[in-house]
Chains A and B, each alone.
Chain A
Amino acid sequence: MTEIPSAPPDSEPMVKVRGLTTVLNGKKIFDALDLDIPRGKVTAIMGPSGTGKTTLLKHITGQMRGDAGQVLVDGEDVRTLSRESLFELRERIGYLFQNSALLTDFDVFENVAFPLRQHTTLPEVLIRNIVLTKLQAVGLRGAAALSPAELSGGMARRVALARAIVFDPMLILYDEPFVGLDPISLNQVLKLIRTLNETLGITSVLVAHELAAVQQVADHVYLIANGKVVAQGAPSTLANDGSPWTKQFFGGSADGPVPFQYPAGDYAAALGLRRNA
């Protein structure tokens, strides 16, 4: 008799990153990065631009594979999965892209219905009900017949969110979910992330820069810089933990451990005010 593999215990983190090292174009993006994403919680990944937050999400989904280390999602090592196994895993993961990535050939309804049509043989009436429920949740049921080109950036993001949650996945990865949202939509999206987490126990990972929004929705925050986790903790306390990283990042200062200027030569020499030695 074939033994059915048991599910990882609830105490096991949904995502476990150990010693992840990634070098892209000669630049070390992650330097033996370690972090855990707990099950059933909302975890925020924050950090300066270009620090590899989106890249980390891509490692979790297997779109990118690191040079060393492990990325375990629901107990499976993403780096060693075959394409078929990876696709099976991805059916249990929702992903909200930074630029929405709606399929331009389809209208809003069909965009949300797309994963259902590809992976299920549900009757049309059921697909319709599921899609309308998800669109209602993001406040866009009335926009079902619009094409992606007719949507504003914020609306497109909400449609992409409806598509990401259409399967009620075990894990949702949100890449910059609050960009371009007006205060009403922002509030509704925050509520939706929280509701999905509380009612269905969905684990959420969000990459964001908006501290106020993160404080409302996240249970735990990781601050990433220079390829490592430089600070972590509850969002309410992290901003005041006194470390130079959090002080600079949340204070928005140009001076600190994260250089504001991209490495360059002497400024005065570049302007012709002083001769290079």
Chain B
Amino acid sequence: MNARIERNGVVSNALAQIGACALFGLTLLRAVPGSLRHFRETLRQVWFVGAMSLTIIMTCGLFVGMVLALQLYDVLSIFGGTSATGTVVAIAIYRELGPVVTALLFAGRAGTSITAEIGLMRATDQIDAMEMMAVDPLAYVAAPRFLAGIVAVPLLTVMFCTMGVLGGHLVGVSWLGIDNGTFWSNMTATVDVWKDIIDGVIVKSFVFGIVVTLIAVFQGYTTPPTSEGVAYATTRTVVASSIAILALDFVLTAFLV
């Protein structure tokens, strides 16, 4: 009985959080036009969450492509289909791994820093100070980070995918000896620009960018102004973002395939 009540509490709490986050998203959208005044701040945030995440995204993209090529070569060689390695690497990365892993890495690298930064700004009264200076913190602090995330995640996903395919080429062609021409021609013949790149890379990463950054900004903005509150908010950003990314990936794939 107690376990059931507890479970119901967890579920209703989660639903309340989703509802509060959605309402916060609407408030944030209303603040976006006002944030255009702070264009330099938005650019600074694009640099911070985007450019500063490049190293981890590119490195991880390279290794994901390399390990994928290695595994696929091993499996495809059973059927004598190693020439399809490049194609399968590209499709797997464009459709799934690129947007999903980039969004997960972005949540860990940039989402947590957005939450912690805004949370600490609240804990040290900086948000209240802006309010007192008649500067809307939603327009100055929250909206630029939200916009920066929406811009950065698709661009980072493109970089991840590029490095992933290069990683696959490095292992498949340079190490395992697949013919260079076969690798590229099979890939370019099979990969569909609309279905694999636009739907896979662009649409998914755009949606993930919105969701991850919204969660990060929401958690930071609504965190209790204590060190414990900021710590919990940062953790919640990673947990909620990861679940949201994987759940939305399924929903989007169901609609896009």
Contact = CB atoms under 8 A, between A and B. Distances in A.
Contacts of B129: 95, 97, 101-103
A90 B133 CA distance: 6
A63 B128 contact: yes
Nearest to B120: A104
Contacts of A275: none
Contacts of B140: 118
A158 to B, nearest CB: 15
B126 A63 contact: no
A80 interface: no
Interface in B130-159: 130-136, 140
A87 B125 contact: no
A117 to B, nearest CB: 10
Nearest to A58: B128
Given A97-B125, A99-B125, A104-B126, A63 B132 contact: yes
A118 B133 contact: yes
Interface in A77-128: 87-88, 90-91, 93, 95, 97-99, 101-104, 114-115, 118-119
B124 interface: yes
A61 interface: yes
Interface in A156-214: 163
Contacts of A93: 132
A100 B124 CA distance: 9
Nearest to A95: B132
A91 B126 contact: no
27 contacts: A63-B131, A87-B136, A90-B131, A90-B132, A90-B133, A90-B134, A91-B134, A93-B132, A95-B129, A95-B132, A97-B132, A99-B124, A99-B125, A101-B125, A101-B126, A101-B129, A102-B126, A103-B126, A103-B130, A104-B121, A104-B124, A114-B133, A114-B135, A115-B133, A115-B134, A119-B134, A163-B133
Q: What 8 A-B pairs are tightest by C-beta distance, nearest first?
A: A101-B125, A101-B129, A87-B134, A90-B134, A95-B132, A91-B134, A115-B133, A118-B135
Given A87-B136, A90-B134, A97-B125, 4 more contacts: A101-B126, A103-B126, A114-B133, A118-B140
Interface of A: 61, 63, 87-88, 90-91, 93, 95, 97-99, 101-104, 114-115, 118-119, 163
